Amino acid sequence: MGAQLRIYRRRMRSVKATKKITKAMELISASRIVKAQQRVSASTPYANELTRAVSAVASYSTVVHPLTTPRANPRRAAVLIITADRGMAGAYSTNAIKEGEQLGALLRERGLSVASYLVGRKAYNYYKFRDRAIAASWTGFSDNPTYENAKEVSETLLKAFVDGSDDGGVDEIHIIFTKFRSMLTQEATAKRMIPLEVVESDAPVPSGLLPMYEFEPNAGEVLNALLPRYIEARIFNAMLQSAASEHAARRRAMKSATDNADELIKSLTRLANAARQAEITQEISEIVGGADALASASAGSE
């Protein structure tokens, strides 16, 4: 019985040490979420305004630009998947990878081959373990991305799009990221970045004269200047959203692990107390039995 009690106590020490680690990780993630949310809030208006500017040029001009016009016979699409570098974030990376798998299946149904561009070690390890082709990958900044990181990724994707599938490039660019909705809700989202995706709106059609735009030097030059910035801003915003989602998912996962450790410690404490009680009862029984035997022996000798 003493050996069983030692096992319970050793397990309790191990669980308590794990609880300290999960609690520390929960607090670290909670402290980083606020900064991540502020960065998302700061970058979203800029990305939205760039989108409106590009949409205005595309809508109110007659220029045919390769970045806004679907290609006649697309054969290859790029899929950028943003995941985490580290684990212990619940299903955060898994959901993004699953969304990428679903998007890849839809693209293949259309007859397109898929070129995978990966951000984060989780996606890289997933594809590497399954021996899948990787067009390009970036790691080391998933929880704190910078604009330079987004610019590096966007330049690689734009070069592949400009080259086209005839020269080993791509004809479409899609992105998979995790949209941060709240501390409890993060949603893996797929969007097409290039060519620009037309989204149907329920807003009423504006009446009266449409706005008149003048583009200097011309609409084509404006699009050439705006579209690289648009892609960079969109990718940077997606990285920031994913970083905030990663911290929120890790905080939630670590809180759940800490709560489970508390429950396990309580359960082990009850088992250890029961084992100690049984040990004490057995010792008392042995003492009483010995005393009875001694008393019986003494009475017999008399």
Domains of the chain, by residue range, sit at 52-197+216-249
Q: Indicate whether 35 pLDDT > 70.
A: yes
Split at pLDDT 50, 70, 90, the class of 242 is very high
Task: Specify the pLDDT at position 301.
Answer: 59
Distance CA 193, CA 198 (A): 10
Task: Specify the pLDDT at position 257.
Answer: 92
Residue 167 CA, distance from chain mean position = 33
Of 150, 102, 122, the closest CA to residue 246 belongs to 122
Q: Indicate whether 155 pLDDT > 70.
A: yes
pTM exceeds 0.85: no
Split at pLDDT 50, 70, 90, the class of 21 is very high
Residue 255 vs residues 12, 95, 176, 271, 288: alpha-carbon distances, Å: 19, 20, 27, 24, 49
Q: Indicate whether 251 pLDDT > 60.
A: yes
**How large is the average pLDDT for residues 45-66?**
75
Distance CA 243, CA 282 (A): 57
**Beta sheet of 136-138, edge-to-edge order:** 136-138, 113-119, 76-82, 172-180, 186-194
**How large is the average pLDDT for residues 154-174?**
88
Share above pLDDT 90 across residues of the chain, in percent, rounded to a whole number:
43
Beta-sheet strands, E only, within 31-145: 76-82, 113-119, 136-138
Q: Indicate whether 135 pLDDT > 80.
A: yes
Split at pLDDT 50, 70, 90, the class of 162 is confident
Q: Indicate whether 175 pLDDT > 50.
A: yes
**How large is the average pLDDT for residues 40-55?**
82
Neighbouring C-beta atoms of residue 101, cutoff 10 Å: 14
Task: Specify the pLDDT at position 52.
Answer: 78
Range of weakest confidence among 57-61, 126-130, 134-138, 186-190:
57-61
Of 205 and 10, more confident: 10
Task: Specify the pLDDT at position 200.
Answer: 42
Of 142, 158, 124, 290, the closest CA to residue 232 belongs to 158
Are 1 and 277 contacting, i.e. CB atoms less than 8 angstroms apart?
no
Q: Give the chain's mean pLDDT.
A: 85
Per residue in 153-163, is it b (16+ CB within 10 Å) or e — as a string?
Answer: bbebbbebbee
* Fold of the domain built from segment(s) 52-197+216-249: Pyruvate Kinase; Chain: A, domain 1 (3.40.1380)
Q: Indicate whether 203 pLDDT > 70.
A: no
Range of weakest confidence among 59-63, 108-112, 134-138, 269-273:
59-63
Task: Specify the pLDDT at position 83.
Answer: 94
